[in-house]
Amino acid sequence: MVKQTFAEAPEIFREASPQSAIRPDAPPMFLLHGTNDSLVPVESARRFAEDLRATSTSTVAYAEFPGAQHAFELFSSVRAHACAEAVERFLGVVYGRHRAALETSRPA
C-alpha cells in the first residue's frame, strides 16, 4: 500500500501500475477479473487486456468471472478452483509453445 497520494508520489503510482507492463517484450499474461470487483473496475481490466494485446508479442489471455469480487481466488470456492484450472491450462499452452519453439530452433 502506498501511504501517499498520487499528487505526493506520482512516480510510485506509475511504477506500481499494471500499465507499466504494457510493452512489446512483456511476458505471456493471463488476466482473470471478477465482474463485481469493487477495487478495480472490470472496464479497466478489459482496457488493459486490449492495450496489452495490441502491444505485446506474447500470448495475452483474459477471462472474467461473473459476480466475483476482487481477490476472489484467495479462499477455496468453486470460482477459486475454476481459476486454478484455467491458470494451469494457460501455463500448459504457454509452456507447450515454448517447447515447440525450442524444438524448431535446434540445429539438425
Domains of the chain: 26-105 (3.40.50.1820)
Query: Per residue in 45-86, pLDDT tens?
Result: 999 999 999 999 999 999 999 999 999 888 899 989 999 999
Query: Per residue in 22-52, pLDDT tens?
Result: 999 999 999 999 999 999 999 999 999 999 9
Burial class (CB in 10 A: 0-12, 13-18, 19+), 15: exposed
Q: 3-state DSSP call for residue 56?
A: coil
CB 17 within 8 A of CB 48: no
Question: CB 35: neighbour CB atoms within 10 A?
Answer: 13
